[in-house]
Structures are given as structure tokens and as C-alpha cells.
Chain A
Amino acid sequence: MLILSAILLALLFAITAALARSYHSREQGLAAEWLQQGNTDLRAGKPTRAFEDFRNSLLYDPENPDVQLHLAEALLADGRFTEARSYLLNLWDRAPGSGQINLDLAHASMNTGEVDQAIRYFHGAIFGSWEKDPAIQRRNVRLELCEFLLSHRMTGEAQAEIAGLAGDTPAEDGELREENGRLFSRAGDPAKALSEFEAALHGNPRQGQWLAEAGQAAFDAGDFLKAETYFSGADRQKPSDEIHVSLLLVRDVLSNDPYMPGLSDDEQASRTVRDFKRGLERLRDCTGTGTSSSLSGSSSSSSSSSGPPISELENLRKEAQELQKRVNLFSVGKNPEMRDEAMGILSRIEESTSSGCGPVTSIDQALKMIEKRHQGNNP
């Protein structure tokens, strides 16, 4: 009986094995067919159909991580983030170091508003493994993370990521350097942005766009000399109204800034008196043209529709006229505090007259910027 059982077992084993082989082969064929169909649909921008295809493929090859990943990506493309996340978490459990899975999870988390999770998965993707072009993939992920952080106003974290990005960027790759510079500018770190633009220009010093960006970064960093140099270069290489205006503004700052290092006391005093007078003229123009009727009328506390309140301008004018009696080349030259006081009033005048008092000229902008920069340096 045992022998008969053994023969029967062998026979049944052979039949089962043949059936199983044939079935598995059919399954593999169907899985591949549906996977291909899904990829085609995904490429054609039909994520819903692609999702169905991948799901069918998964029916025949349920453990295939590629199909699961495709399915999750189709769900992401279809805006079904919670479902995608569920599949991706399953995949992540098995391959926590996969760059692609981490990136997809970051996308899912971004879209479900889980910022911390998204950052965590972005980092997982940056330090994860990538099958093709790992360096490029990691850079792209980091760029995306920077964009994400900037969009969430997390500038401190963004700056750290951009610094990491810059650290991994080859010195000779001007385009990537320029990209880093732009990110630094957006993250509010113009000094590092300037450094990146300069590194980019090192290999291609006549690139107009990069010159303009370097000029702007230098301007934002308060390095007007460099700004003038780069804007001048940009104006030559790639002239545009915008660059030209920026150049004029920089030049106005350079020629009017009494705080510019290296100036003699006389030059500082001369610039201060000139700037102050210019401010007074601006104030006079403003109160004399836009608000003459109001000034003589009774409603002194009212304001024009778009300008500052008349009383404020009137008070400012009185204050400035009072100061004018004391501001001259001699007093300013002898007394730096007088210079600061004059420039302080000037700043308030420019601030108050920036709207509703006619067009703001380049010199007005320059004066405003000079004082602002000075206040920034001496809080």
C-alpha cells in the first residue's frame, strides 16, 4: 500500500508540477502584458487607466515591487495620495533605503500636508540608493526639497539643504552653480548666492544672465561696488531695461552714499548735505503739489486717497526745516551724529513720500536704500 501511495504521490506531483508551471508561466505573461499596458497609459497621461492596468498586473504578480511602485505612482499621478501612500509604505517596509520609494512617499506626504514626514522621506531619498545616475537623482531630489522648504517659508532649513547641494556641486559646472545661486537668493542668503554666481562666472565670465544675477546678489548683499561691476558687465553682454535701471540705481547709491567706506570727512559731509537737500525738495514738491489745498484748509488730519496723512507730512516738513538750520558742510563734517540725524529724517521723508507724491526716481530709491542699509548695519 505504501508503494502504491508513493507511486500515486509521484504521479500527482508530476501533474501538479506541470499544472503549476503552466499556470505560473501564464501568470507571468499576463503580469507583463498588463504592466506594459499600464506604462503605455501612464505615458499617455491616463493615470486612472494605468492604475487599473497595474492593478491587473499585480493580480498575477502580487509581490513584484516594480509593479507595486508603478501602481503607487499611477495613484500619485491620479491624485489619490492616501492610497498611494498605503502601497508605498508597504514597499518602504521592505526597502527602506530605496531612493525612488522615499521620493514617492515624500510626494504623497507633501500632498497630504504632512510636512515633517515629507522632509523625512526627502532625506531618505537623498541618502537612499538609486539604480540609474544616483548623483543626478540625489541632486534633483535635493532641489525639489529646497523648493518645498522655500514654498513653506522654512528658509533656515532650505539654506542648509542648498549648502549641501553646493557642497556636492562640481566647481566647474557653471549651470549648476548658477542654480545654487538662485536658490540661495530665494532663501535670503545673497552673500552665498553671490559666491555661487561668481563661481559660475569663473568658467564663463561673459554670461549675461549670470552677470545680472551676480549683480543682483551683490546688490542684495550690500556690496554695491561688485553690483556695479556685474550690472555693467550684464548691461554690455545682455542689455535690458531692467538691468539698466538696476545699474543706474547702484550708481546712484555709490555716488550718494555718505557711509561708503573710504570717503573723506568732507566728501561724507558733502554727500549728506546734498542728500538732505534732495529730500527736502521731495517733501516740498509733495506737500506743495499734491496737498496744497489741504494744507491751507481746516482738515489737517485727513489724508489723500493714496498718500500719507497731511499732518504727518506737515510735521515732517517742520522737523526737516528745523534741522535744515543746523545741517551744513561744517556741522556735518565735524559731527557724525548730525549726519545720522539728517539721514534719519531723509529716510522718513523718502518713506512717507514713496506713495502719492509722484513718481519715485532712481535717486529717491537710492537714498531710501542707503539709509535702510545703514540702519541694518547699525540697529
Chain B
Amino acid sequence: MSDRDTPVEETPLPAKVEEVPATNARDLGLKWLGSRARALTLSEGNLFLLLAIIIGLFSGMAVVCFRIAIEWVRLGLLGSALAPPRLRVLLAPTAAGLVVAFLVQKFFRGARGSGVNQTKAAVYVFDGYVPFRTVIGKFLTCSIAIGSGQSLGPEDPSLQMGAGIASALGRRLKLSRDKLRLLAPVGAAAGLAAAFNAPISAVLFVIEEVIGTWSASALGAIVLAAVSSAVVMRSFLGGEPMFRVPAYTLAHPAELIAYAVLGVVSGVLSLVFTQIIVYFRPKLRALPDWTNYFQPAAAGLLIGLVGLRIPQSMGTGYPYIDQALHSQYTWQILAILGFAKILTTSLSFVSGTPGGMFAPTLFIGAMIGGAIGGLEHQFFPQVSASVAPFALVGMGTFFAGFMRVPITSVFMVVETTGSYSIVLPVMISNTIAYLISRKYQDMTLFDILAKQDDLELPSMEEQREQIVLRVEDAFRKPDFPPLQAGDTLARALEIAETSTEEVFLVRFPTGRWADIARKDLPAMALAHPKETHLREILTSARLPILHPDQRLDDALRFIQGHALLPVVGRAGSRKLEGVLSLPDILAAYQKAS
């Protein structure tokens, strides 16, 4: 309908509007707009979730650029073939080592190392602060180092870059300190999800290794960030799983024995790998500061020398994992590749070259797994399947033993391969490797590295293993049954005479509890007749109640201002299981320590 056709004259205007002065009408309009704007204003919680999505988008794109940068550098320095020319193999990591060391020493000191501990330090030490300079430094130095063939991966740096981006956005928005602390893990999950194309594993890793708890407030944001980041990555670089694996079926339950053996070997080798790093890293760090300019180059030269014979041991090694998953190597070759990678990765990492440990760990695991599978197949062909499923399981198993993140490792194998059928052997093998690693080495690698860096970061593993004291560990049985609301004041006085308790609990038929202090009884007796029912005196009093399974930490919060609290069963709040006082709680803590 055109304007001309509009029956303007016939449109009735509201009488009130005609009557009010123009200024009032404007005020009303402004008021209305104000109310709409208030409705659109986000609460801090919702803003945090929106921010998580934005962090995911930023991190996803940053990681995409990062991965492309690594590939450009690789193409430029090593060429497009899987087996690069010999001269480049020798020169590229050496020269890149010099450049990277210069950049780290002069401009980006925070870029050194893997990135997981830096993110933890941001959460627990620096109130969620990750300098944006570190993000840039990580991007530049890791691109050069990994692209040149240093035996490191892009995942841990991506994690730190995500945390850095999140921290920068949080600072811009002037979020509270608590929220800022929470943002770093949110960004870390986003970065890792994009780097691995594995959002579930990223979420689990951040929970298992960075924040350590399944906090509902953090989980929502972490999941949103990881998902949005993975979506961005997939839209730019494709949604295929990282590895293409042949179909696998468990032919016979006896195969699981073979996988258990793999778990044992991987567990032991992960200990060896950890010990190499833990031993040599402080030795190199103790060298004079000027050597830091040359350590990555020296490592690069040694890696190049190894790479002349074993080019597979350079770089991330992902294409070679794929080959191992397609049974392209004999078990002897796989074993050599696994040990060569332990050597080259140790060189890269202890020299302080920026880069991550995830990819090399997967490589070593795949090769060792394949070697064990091939060896078992040779001697027990009826028990062991082909090499490929062992390589696949080996990836997760070594990761579980080395990183000590058993749940993440299971999901990582499933997500990076898109194969769910392998999950049973992975679970068995990973658990064994994890338990062996735990038994023979008290602290996780990340915790040891933090200690070497003079950082006292909380150990997530220790937190998980901590014995939680509960109310049932501290409460005691009362000397007398509780008073009833229907009892008289005389009855209360009578019990007070025979008891040593200073406080008496009173139970109401509704499940409410109250208390009477011994010292208050004389005053009550003066104020009320002795036949007065207690319910008439304690009209508004209400005690918090505790349950036996509640954490003692929670009980501490409730007991403030009360001498004694009732402990009741969850099945019925009228049945008194026991009583708990502050001295009881302290005694329980003392006993536990």
C-alpha cells in the first residue's frame, strides 16, 4: 500500500497523548527507551557467556592463522616434500633456532616453553593476566620453530594464545578479578579446541589440568568457547578428523591382553621421557644467560643431524602418525622412530625453544604403540591384531602416561580419529600407563616444570587425590536425646541439671531445629512460667542443619555463630544422627593432618 492510500485522517490518536504537553511525551518516550535498554542489558553472568563465545571466535581465527603460518614457514624452509632436501634438513632448524632464540631473549621472554604452565600461572599467580605480547611472541616464535622442523607441536602454544586473547579481552572489559581468573582457562580451552579440532578433549584437558574442578560457572563458558573456536577452525580448515584410520573391530577379548602390555610399556617409556626432560632442562637453564641465544640453534643442528637419517622425527610429525596408522612401517622402524622422536623432542624442549609437547607425545605414542603391536603380532599372531590399531591406542596411552590426563587422553583418541570402536582398548591401556606413571613419579611433568621455574602452582592431580573430610568424620553422638518443641521449660531445666552440655538442641515437628544455651536458661525461667512450652519461647529461632555426607569445609561456613549444629540424615530431617561443634571440626582436621 502506498502512502497516498493510507487513511491518515481516519487514524484515531489516543486522547491522552493529545492532552499531555510535548515535554511530558518526550519524557515518557525516554522512560520507555530506558526500560527497553535495561531489559537488553546483560547480567554479568550472561555477558561472561557471550564473552566466551567471542573469545572462542577470536581464538579460533588466531589458531587458524597460526597453523597456516607454520605451514608457510615449513614450505619456505623445508620445501613441499615429506622428505626434505638434506641441506635444508640440517640448516633450517639451526638457523630458525638462532632467530627464535633472539626473538625470545630480546622481545618475548614469556614465549619460552610449552604454554600450559604459563596459563596455570596466569590463573593462580597473576590474577588471570597473560600479556598480549606473549600471544604475539608465541605466534611468531612457534611458527618459525615448528615450521623449521624443531620437534614440537602447535597445541600448547595455541592454548596459551587463547588464554592471552581471553585475558586481553577481559582486561578491556574491566571484568572483576574472579572473572579475569576464569577467563584464562576459557581462552585456553578455545585455543586447544581449535588446535586439535577436538572440543571435548580441550574442555576436559582444561578441567583436568588447569582449573581442576567441574565448576558450573566455568564449565558453561569453557564449553561455549571451545565449541565456537572449533567451529571457526572447521569452517576455515575443514572438519575432518586429524587422522584417517582404518576400520577397527575387537576380534577377540584376548586382544585386550596385548593392549594391556602396550599400557605397561607406554607407562614405563613415558616415565623415561619425563625423566630426560626433568633432568636436562634445569642443567641447560643453569648455563650462562648468553647461551640461551644458541641453545635452540644447537638443538636444531642436532635435530637436523638426526633428521638426515630419520626425517620423520622432525616437526609435528602428524603425516607420519597417519602413515603409522596405515601400517606403513615395520615394528622395528616404528620403534626407531619412537625413540628418535623422544630424542629430538627432548632436545627442542630442554633448549627452551617455544613449542608444545602434545604433538610429539602423540607421535611417540603412535610409534611405540605400533612397534609393540607389530612385535606382538610377530610372536602371537592369534592375540594381536595388525599394527594400525596399536598405533592408534598407543597415541592415547603415551599421552595418558606422560601428561597424566587419563580422561582427556581417551576422548582425544576418539576425537582426533573419529573412531569410537577403539575406545575399549584405549581405556584399558591408558589406565595402565597412567597408573604406572603415577606410581613411579609423584608429580606430573607440568608440576615439576613449574617447580623448576620457581612457581608453586596447585597440582590438579593432588587436588583430585586429596582426602575430603566430611561431617560424618567429625560429628559425635549427643549425651541426651534432643528436647522437643512440646517440652516445657521445666523439662529443659531438669535436663540441664543432669547434663554437661552447654547447648541443647530443640526439635520441632516440622523438621525445624533450634537451640537453647545453658547460660540462657535462668533468664528464661524468670521471664516465663515453668510450664511454658519451648515452642512458645523459641518462636523464630532456626538452626542450620548438616548432613553426614557434607564436606567439613561447608560445615565450617554454617557453624559461624552457633555452638552446636544438628546432623540429620537426608532421609528425614527429624532424626538426629549426631551433633557437630567447632572444636569437633578442628579435631577432625587435626586428626587428618
Q: Are B64 and A59 in contact (CB under 8 A)?
A: no
A52 to B319, CA, bound (A): 12
Identity of the chain A residue whose Cβ is nearest the Cβ of B244 in the assembled complex = A90
Identity of the chain A residue whose Cβ is nearest the Cβ of B57 in the assembled complex = A9
Query: Interface extent on B, as a size class?
Result: 20 to 34
Q: Are A62 and B326 in contact (CB under 8 A)?
A: no
* Given A9-B57, A13-B61, A16-B61; A56-B326 close (CB under 8 Å): no
Identity of the chain B residue whose Cβ is nearest the Cβ of A29 in the assembled complex = B80
A304 to B374, CA, bound (A): 58
A60 to B61, CA, bound (A): 20
Q: Which one of B57, B172, B327, B388 lies within 8 Å of A1 (CB-CB)?
A: B172
Q: Are A82 and B172 in contact (CB under 8 A)?
A: no
Identity of the chain B residue whose Cβ is nearest the Cβ of A51 in the assembled complex = B328
User: Does A55 interact with chain B (Cβ within 8 Å)?
Assistant: yes
Q: Are A12 and B326 in contact (CB under 8 A)?
A: no
Q: Which one of A4, A63, A93 lies within 8 Å of B246 (CB-CB)?
A: A93
Identity of the chain B residue whose Cβ is nearest the Cβ of A89 in the assembled complex = B246
Taking CB atoms and an 8 Å cut-off, the chain A residues in 87-106 that contact chain B are: 87, 89-90, 93
Identity of the chain B residue whose Cβ is nearest the Cβ of A12 in the assembled complex = B61
* Given A63-B240, A87-B326; A9-B58 close (CB under 8 Å): yes
User: Does A17 interact with chain B (Cβ within 8 Å)?
Assistant: yes
A89 to B245, CA, bound (A): 9
Tell me which residues across on chain A come within 8 A of B467, comparing CB atoms. Answer: none
User: Does A34 interact with chain B (Cβ within 8 Å)?
Assistant: yes
Q: Could you tell me the distance in whole angstroms from the C-beta of B77 to the nearest C-beta in chain A? A: 15
Q: Could you tell me the distance in whole angstroms from the C-beta of B109 to the nearest C-beta in chain A? A: 26
Q: Are B82 and A20 in contact (CB under 8 A)?
A: no
Chain A interface main SS type: helix
A1 to B58, CA, bound (A): 15
Q: Are A62 and B61 in contact (CB under 8 A)?
A: no
Tell me which residues across on chain A come within 8 A of B81, comparing CB atoms. Answer: 52, 56
Taking CB atoms and an 8 Å cut-off, the chain B residues in 163-197 that contact chain A are: 169, 172-173
Identity of the chain A residue whose Cβ is nearest the Cβ of B63 in the assembled complex = A16
Q: Could you tell me the distance in whole angstroms from the C-beta of A116 to the nearest C-beta in chain B? A: 16
Tell me which residues across on chain A come within 8 A of B64, comparing CB atoms. Answer: 16, 19-20
Q: Are A59 and B319 in contact (CB under 8 A)?
A: yes
Taking CB atoms and an 8 Å cut-off, the chain B residues in 427-456 that contact chain A are: none
User: Does A83 interact with chain B (Cβ within 8 Å)?
Assistant: yes
Q: Are B322 and A62 in contact (CB under 8 A)?
A: yes
User: Does B287 interact with chain A (Cβ within 8 Å)?
Assistant: no
Taking CB atoms and an 8 Å cut-off, the chain A residues in 234-286 that contact chain B are: none
Tell me which residues across on chain A come within 8 A of B238, comparing CB atoms. Answer: 63
Q: Could you tell me the distance in whole angstroms from the C-beta of B367 to the nearest C-beta in chain A? A: 16
User: Does A26 interact with chain B (Cβ within 8 Å)?
Assistant: yes
Q: Are B80 and A20 in contact (CB under 8 A)?
A: no
Give 1 or 0 for each of A12-55: 1 = CB within 8 Å of chain B CB: 11011101100100100010011000000000000000001001
Give 1 or 0 for each of B308-336: 1 = CB within 8 Å of chain A CB: 00000000000100110011100000000
Q: Are B386 and A82 in contact (CB under 8 A)?
A: yes
Identity of the chain A residue whose Cβ is nearest the Cβ of B72 in the assembled complex = A23
Excluding A23-B71, A86-B386, A87-B326, 9 further A-B contacts by CB distance (< 8 Å) are A9-B57, A12-B62, A16-B64, A20-B236, A23-B72, A26-B75, A83-B327, A86-B326, A86-B388
Listed from nearest, the 10 A-B pairs whose CB atoms lie closest are A86-B326, A16-B61, A20-B236, A86-B327, A23-B68, A89-B246, A83-B328, A12-B61, A90-B246, A30-B80
12 contacts between A and B (CB under 8 A): A1-B172, A8-B58, A12-B58, A16-B65, A19-B64, A30-B75, A55-B323, A56-B81, A62-B240, A62-B244, A63-B240, A90-B244
